[in-house]
Structures are given as structure tokens and as C-alpha cells.
Structure 1
Amino acid sequence: MPQIVVLPHADYCPEGAVLEASAGSTICEALLENDIEIEHACEMSCACTTCHVIVREGMSSLNPSDEAEDDLLDRAWGLCPQSRLSCQAVVAQQNLVIEIPKYSINHAKENH
């Protein structure tokens, strides 16, 4: 079972985390299943950028982004070449290291 290393984030996991993820699940699903309450204002329907993550290691193992995701990512805070929407990035067999950006474009948290 692949692991996801989550780098420390002041709000979501101050100490960082190492979690098990099921291949075929999305990064967002894996985070939520492990009590890392990443924002996902559109309920994981690829309609916002609140679940934006930066994949520091393992990017090549993820499914490719599609045009809808790429268009949304253009609006994400802190966009970089390793950016993905965690609700669209499907975990394969390779371990991942991700960073949750400090900010999102969401001005109010949704309390999921």
C-alpha cells in the first residue's frame, strides 16, 4: 500500500504526517480518511481549487491532469509545475510527498 508523506502545515497537520493510501483513491480522499481536513469546497467535483496540493515526490505515478483541472489550477494560489487538485490526483503504487499550500483562494472555510 503506498504511503503519502504530508509535509507540516500550520492548520492541517502541524507535525506533518505519514499515511497509508489505497491505490485508486484520490489524494484528497486519503487525506480526509486520515483526519487531515483539507478544504474541498466543491465536494471533490473539480469545480474549485481549495484542495490544491504540491506533489514534491511521486508526481510521475499520478494520473495525468485533464483540461478542466489545468484550467482551474491556473487560479490556484502558489501554482507551480508540481501542482495538482488533490480531488483529481489518483494514487497509484508509488509513495508520494505532498505539500498543502499555506493559502487557498477560499476566503471562508467550509467546515467539512
Structure 2
Amino acid sequence: MPVIKILPHPEYCPAGAEISAPAGTSICEALLDNHIDIEHACDMSCACTTCHVVVRQGLASLNEAEEAEEDLLDRAWGLEPQSRLSCQAILAQQDVTIEIPKYSINHAKENH
């Protein structure tokens, strides 16, 4: 089972974390299943950029980004060449390291 290493984020994961998830699971689902409450305003339907992550290691092991995801990423805060929408990034067998950007395009978060 691949491991996702999450770099420290002041709100979602202050100390950082390492979690396991089955191959075929999206990074967003894995985070949520492990109580790391990343934003996902469109309910993981690839319609926003609130679940944007930067894949620091293991990018090549994920599925390729489709055109709809790439178009949305153009609007993500802090876009980098290794950026993915976590709801669309599907784990394979290799471990990955991700960073959750400090900000998203959501100015008003739900449940806060």
C-alpha cells in the first residue's frame, strides 16, 4: 500500500503526517479518510481548485492529468509544475510526498 507523506501545513496538518491508502484511491480521498480535512468545495468533481496540492516526490507514479484538470489548475493559487488537484490524482504503488499550499481560491471556508 503506498504511503502519502504530507509536509507540515499550519491548518490541516501542523506536524506533517504519513498515511497509507490503497492504490486506486485519490489523494483527496486518502487525506479525508485519515482526518486531514483538505478543502474540496466541488465534492471532488473536478470543478474547482480548492484541493490543489504540490507533489514533491512521486509525481510520475500518479495517473496523468486530464485536460479538464489542467485547465482548472491554471486558476490555482501557488501553481507549480508539480501541481495536481488531489481529487484527480490517483495513487499507484509508489509512495508520494505532497505539500498543501497555504492558500486556496476559497475566501470563505465551510464549517469554519
Partner of 1:71: 71
Partner of 1:17: 17
Letter in 1 for 2:47: A
Runs of 4+ that moved beyond 4 A:
none
Alpha-carbon distance in structure 1 between the residues aligned to 2:110 and 2:20: 26
The within-5 A match list for 1:72-111 is 72-111=72-111
Partner of 1:41: 41
Alpha-carbon distance in structure 1 between the residues aligned to 2:22 and 2:49: 23
Letter in 1 for 2:98: I
Letter in 2 for 1:31: L
Alpha-carbon distance in structure 2 between the residues aligned to 1:84 and 1:19: 18
Partner of 1:51: 51
Alpha-carbon distance in structure 1 between the residues aligned to 2:58 and 2:111: 29
Q: Where do 5+ consecutive residues of structure 2 fail to align? A: none
Letter in 2 for 1:83: S
Letter in 2 for 1:104: S
Q: Secondary structure at the match of 2:98?
A: strand
Letter in 2 for 1:9: H
Equivalent residues, number: 112
Q: TM-score, normalised by structure 1?
A: 0.98
User: Matched residues, percent identical?
Assistant: 73
Distance apart, 1:111 and its partner CA:
2.7
Residues 37-95 of structure 1 show CA distances to partners (whole Å, capped at 9, x for unaligned) of 00000000000000000000000000000110000000000000000000000000000
Alpha-carbon distance in structure 1 between the residues aligned to 2:40 and 2:49: 8
Q: Where do 5+ consecutive residues of structure 1 fail to align? A: none
